[in-house]
Amino acid sequence: MQAAIEAKLTSALAPTHLEVTCSDGNKWAVTVISEAFQGKPLLARHRLVNTALAEELEDIHALSLKTKTPAEWEKS
Amino acid sequence: MQRQHQQHAQLLHPCYSFAADDDDVVDFSGAATQERIAALVADNPILVFMKGNRMFPQCGYSGTVVQILNQLGVPYETVDVMADDRIREGVKDFSNWPTIPQLYLNGEFVGGADIVIELYQTGELLEQIEIAAAS
């Protein structure tokens, strides 16, 4: 599952940084840093990730997302 | 449409929830359900579709959204998706969003728990709520 998530996000969003972790059995946390988020509101960013992971979301019922641009990530 | 059942998972974690009894055949794509959801969203300026209710959230993510709205001290309504399978699946189609909870302001889908938390932290959530309350 982890490899599939990483592969799909990499091909969909070309992230400069990507972190995928799983805890508590099936609760996933994903941090994606990508230029693809530039100028997009939060909802649109999360939709990009949800769309890329549509297949995986059938089996995942807890997914926590952080979506930043490289510039925002530098500042945080 | 029959959903796959994973009852064992449901026992392990309250966030996991799947369709009800096997003999309960439900039309998840029902137009009537979409109309009910649209009416709920239209009638309630601040509305949360959640697991459980504001006194007893049945999932940590739903509980977080309730806590934030309580913290902001704004009036809001909730719909317990655990009480109705059609609503639980229908609201995902309605918003094209795969998970519960879902927050709606003035008829517009805002997001799930992560988005609500982030908007709360930046102050944007209160801004959006004030706009919703004023209109």
Is the CB of B114 less than 8 angstroms away from the CB of A61? no
pLDDT in the model for residue A26: 83
In a domain, residue B28? The reply is no
Tens digits of per-residue pLDDT, B13-63?
444 444 444 444 555 458 999 999 999 999 999 999 999 999 999 999 999
Say whether residue B28 is in contact with chain A using an 8 A CB cutoff: no
pLDDT above 70: residue A54: yes
Tens digits of per-residue pLDDT, B73-132?
999 999 999 999 999 999 999 999 999 999 999 999 999 999 999 999 999 999 999 887
What distance in Å separates the CA atoms of residue B60 and residue B5, rounded to the nearest whole number?
22
Nearest to B15 among A43, A46, A62 (CB): A62
Residue B87 maps to which CATH number? 3.40.30.10
ipTM over 0.90: no
Q: A65 with A32: CB under 8 angstroms?
A: yes
Q: Write the Ramachandran bin of B104: left for phi over 0, alpha for psi from -120 to 50, otherwise beta.
A: beta
Is the CB of A62 less than 8 angstroms away from the CB of B111? no
In a domain, residue A51? The reply is yes
In a domain, residue A14? The reply is yes
Residue A54 maps to which CATH number? 3.30.300.90
Q: What is the distance in angstroms between the Cα of B35 and the nearest Cα belonging to chain A? A: 23
pLDDT above 70: residue A56: yes
In a domain, residue B27? The reply is no
Q: Is the dihedral of CA A44, A49, A52, A53 positive or negative?
A: negative
* Mean pLDDT in residue range A42-56: 95
Nearest to A61 among B15, B109, B115 (CB): B15
In a domain, residue B116? The reply is yes
In a domain, residue A75? The reply is no
In a domain, residue B22? The reply is no
In a domain, residue B4? The reply is no
Domains in chain A: how many in total? 1
Say whether residue B105 is in contact with chain A using an 8 A CB cutoff: no
Is the CB of A50 less than 8 angstroms away from the CB of B98? yes
Q: What is the distance in angstroms between the Cα of A58 and the nearest Cα belonging to chain B? A: 8
What distance in Å separates the CA atoms of residue B34 and residue A32, rounded to the nearest whole number?
33
In a domain, residue A76? The reply is no
**Residue B78 belongs to what domain range?**
45-135
The model's pTM: 0.82
Say whether residue B15 is in contact with chain A using an 8 A CB cutoff: yes
A18-46 b/e (C-beta count within 10 Å ≥ 16 → b): bebeeeeebbbebbbbbebbeeeebbebb
**Residue A17 belongs to what domain range?**
2-69
Question: Which residues 6+ apart lie within 8 Å of B111 measured at CB?
Answer: A42, A43, A46, B97, B102, B103, B119
Domains in chain B: how many in total? 1
